[in-house]
Structure 1
Amino acid sequence: MTRSFSFKLNNSELLFIRLFVLLTFRSSVWSQLENAGQKDGTCRKPYVDILVSPLVEKNGTSELLLFWNVETVVPDGWIVLKRGTTLIFKSPINGTSGSVETNHFYDSPDVYSFKKQYLGYNVEYIQNVTGAVLATSSMETNPTWMTDEATLLGDLRIDNIFIPGTHDSGAYTGVLADSEKRIEKYVIAQDEPVLNQLIFGIRSLDLRVSYYSVRNHDYDQLYINHGVRGVRPLREVVEQIKEFLEKTREILILDFHQFPIGFSNFRILHLKPHETLIDYLLQELGPFIAPPQLTWNARLQDFWNLNKTLILAYNNRKMLSKYSHILWPPVHQKWGNAQELSKLKEYMRNVFANPPIGPWSAQAELTATGRKIITDKLRGLRQMAASINTQVTEWFQSDWGAKCHIVTCDFFRSTGIVKTAISWNLRRATGDSCDL
């Protein structure tokens, strides 16, 4: 004989059961995330970011990309883009790291502020069935990230901080990408003017200066070059640097490593191009230049105590001796001369197996050779950056981020290098691989 039972639950009891199931499931999700961190000893938070593609549309806008790097993929995990609080894009997450195009486009404001600025977009990593937000990030500027965290970062040495930088910093575009012809598209390496680079958080600039005069101290003939191609007067870049230094107390490295044209004195014996460049820098930026006697072992707080926040790193031994009161020893650039992602990664893997001592930069960009420029096989620096920059972000969120000093990129806004550097510096300051 079979007995049947029936009973009804009131609304309060039904609500209690639903909440219990929801909280139990959510607890399970968080447990998975925490256990993943404990297992590999990192306990790092899931990372999401909004990137800007280096590929530019004819109307001058660039597509927004969503990037994620998580240790554990939760069931029914999604990455979403919001404009303010309005959901405008959603995509499932199927792996621990990756990126996705959104078909939404970013039109840069004409002017950015010297205070941290929210730019209207948010990204979230969510667990769809529960609605749990596992990670979130905003598109924003970082004009004062060093001084914002001065209490934590002040005791870090300048050679032991992760410094986000740009490669060929002065080779930025002032025109639409579709006007970059065969040569130009292998010259332009950045989308943002130098001032904007600094406002977004870049703290090391790679400046390649040429001199196009037969007279000394002809400052208007100092130009920023990319290779043998002149891009713009150095004065334009120095004015932007000066404005940033006047408005903030951020510590900035100017890396003068290459001098493509006009600095070989064997042709015109009376010409002194190095002295011309250095005298110009001293004239325009002198009040900000930190004395090299601080050395690369100086703490960030030491620069702030002196109110001198500019490092002039200069790759010329004779000038280092002559101008020892203002010029710092050069940054050792680790450059792979690679034309494809796998070769660059192999080169970087070897570098990080035995990182250099002292100031050095990981040049995290592909290089176009003469033949490949002529044949246009690589399709320009924008396409080259688009093919590697999300992977570069992932590399430096790994333990490479614990070992690097300066990291330079092309089209830096298609990387997460600034936020990645800030996260690693907070870890270094606390001596812990866990996130705060």
Structure 2
Amino acid sequence: MLKGIVLLILHVFCDIALAGQCGKVWVTVSSLWRPIAASDKVVDAELEVNWEFDCPADTRYSDTQIKVFTADPLAAHNKMIKPELILTSLQRPRGYYRTNITVGRPPLPGGWDTKDGATLPGSHCLDYYAILYKDGHMFSMSCLQIWPTWMYDLRREIGMLPIGSLMIPGTHNSGCYKHGDLTRRDAFQRYLLTQDRDVWTQLVHGIRYLDIRVGYYPSIPNGTALDEDGNHINRFWVNHDVIRITPLSEILKDVRDFLDVARGEVIIMDFHRFPVGFEGRPNRHRKLLSILHREFEGLILKPDRGIEGLGPTLNDIWAGGKRLIICYGDKHTVNEYDWLWPPLTQVWGNQQTVEGLFEYLDEEILGSKKRRNSQNPLWAVMAELTPFPLDIFFNLSGGLRQMADSVNRNLTVKFQEEWWKETNVVATDFFLGNDLIWVSRISNIKKSNIAQWRL
């Protein structure tokens, strides 16, 4: 136990040290895909290497080198391992390289691949590593990793922070994913899927905010199953606009399973819109909420109605044992249930270019205080591009994967350098294409240090 605590402390300090160095390397997963000739299969989820230098002006980047490995190069049994890729003579202080190393959908380390198995706290590396060398010496190292217990791991550093001041990584249209390998048919449905991993895997990686849009379908195949309260649970689906994608029951099970094994993590479920089957049908809201209450009873954190501020601290939440926040996008329904949080404000730019999105976010994030809903201390930056209807019809933007690819890697640097201090929730498409989970962890430690200094 003591050894685990020491390793965790060392890991936190290493994270902070790396954040303060003048060079950093990190790995992400591309949202793009490539066709395979004469096959329905495609190549997707390829590893990307990212680097950034903020060094003195006389630093020579040509002396730097990045090596990419598909196993831990520092492990004793891997001493003779050779890199899969070597990048040399890096000429620019910031850049990325998309490799042809396919990550796919590998088993999750630390026991987190099974939802009812032994699960180890702390961060765990998948078998993808990048090391930055300068003048032949190792300068920075990173791996593709999961942070399934990051909130509670950092409890001594961030426990005093209110939930409304934390930087919380999230996903946009969290339930719009496909199980298993991507096919050519899936890839050509360019404007439906927004994520490459199911909700369980999102949570294990470190996502703590889920953006959910629900549709109700009175008569669909396999839609007659009843839950314990007599509700037709299979009639509720997670939608992308008016298109149903994933059974809601699948999402709820993943959230419940995760809360049961990650006993210190706090999750926000934002039921933000109800695009199909709810208009003028309040009883369908009640059916949905009956399902939610039955599934999560004992875990739902009630809001403090009428109290302005940034909400409870993580320490307050842990002391009470209620770790699920359910925000609900229908004001009339919220008034009927004291355990629902009011609609959560989403800062949505509706932008089609990276320049337009970043200009919008610059203004909104820095002016965030006036954007908050006084009844809900939480608010979310939706950091993704939005296609116009004509884009979808004529495929002008190339699809959501290409749009995410154009924005994700830039988000990592912008939030790390400029936007972290004022950000609460940040949600993205194809979240493995950025490093915002790592940025959120480091930013929350910095926020905590600022708060303690003020005291």
TM > 0.5: yes
Whether contact under 8 Å (2:176, 2:193) holds in the other structure is: yes
| Structure 2 match to 1:134 | 139
In 2: Cα distance, 1:230 partner to 1:135 partner: 44
Q: 1:192-240, CA deviations, whole angstroms, 9 ceiling, x for partnerless residues?
A: 0000000000000000001112899322101100011000110011011
Match of residue 71, structure 1, among 54, 57, 63: 54
Alignment of 1:383-394 (within 5 A): 383-394=402-413
Q: Is 1:143 matched up with 2:152?
A: no
SS in 2 for 1:283: helix
| Structure 1 match to 2:358 | 345
In 2: Cα distance, 1:139 partner to 1:359 partner: 29
Q: 1:353-406, CA deviations, whole angstroms, 9 ceiling, x for partnerless residues?
A: 311333211111011121110101111111111111101111111120111001
Whether contact under 8 Å (1:363, 1:409) holds in the other structure is: yes
Match of residue 127, structure 2, among 120, 123, 132: 120
Match of residue 89, structure 1, among 85, 91, 106: 85
Q: Is 1:399 matched up with 2:399?
A: no
| Structure 2 match to 1:293 | 304
Whether contact under 8 Å (2:44, 2:182) holds in the other structure is: no
In 2: Cα distance, 1:213 partner to 1:90 partner: 56
Whether contact under 8 Å (1:45, 1:135) holds in the other structure is: no
In 1: Cα distance, 2:416 partner to 2:242 partner: 34
In 2: Cα distance, 1:158 partner to 1:48 partner: 30
Alignment of 1:132-281 (within 5 A): 132-174=137-179, 175-180=181-186, 182=188, 184-213=189-218, 217-248=231-262, 249-265=264-280, 272-281=283-292
Whether contact under 8 Å (2:331, 2:343) holds in the other structure is: no
One-letter identity of the residue aligned with 1:180: D
| Structure 2 match to 1:98 | 95
Whether contact under 8 Å (1:78, 1:125) holds in the other structure is: yes
Q: CA deviation at 1:110?
A: 4.2
Q: CA deviation at 1:48?
A: 2.0
| TM-score, normalised relative to structure 2 | 0.80
In 2: Cα distance, 1:410 partner to 1:369 partner: 16
| TM-score, normalised relative to structure 1 | 0.83
| Structure 1 match to 2:104 | 107
Q: What RMSD over aligned residues (CA atoms) do the two structures have, in Å?
A: 2.3
How many residue pairs end up in the alignment? 385
| Structure 2 match to 1:62 | 45
Deviates more, 1:357-366 or 1:241-250: 357-366
SS in 2 for 1:388: helix
Match of residue 374, structure 1, among 382, 390, 393: 393
Q: CA deviation at 1:111?
A: 5.0
Q: Note the residue ranges of structure 2 that are not aligned, 5 or more in a row.
A: 1-18, 35-40, 74-81, 113-118, 225-229
Q: Is 1:48 matched up with 2:25?
A: yes
Whether contact under 8 Å (2:43, 2:102) holds in the other structure is: no
Whether contact under 8 Å (1:43, 1:433) holds in the other structure is: no
Whether contact under 8 Å (1:427, 1:433) holds in the other structure is: no
In 1: Cα distance, 2:347 partner to 2:209 partner: 15
Q: CA deviation at 1:419?
A: 0.6
Whether contact under 8 Å (1:166, 1:204) holds in the other structure is: yes
| Structure 2 match to 1:308 | 322
In 2: Cα distance, 1:169 partner to 1:119 partner: 22
Q: 1:8-31, CA deviations, whole angstroms, 9 ceiling, x for partnerless residues?
A: xxxxxxxxxxxxxxxxxxxxxxxx
Change (3 A) 1:330 1:212: same
In 2: Cα distance, 1:286 partner to 1:207 partner: 19
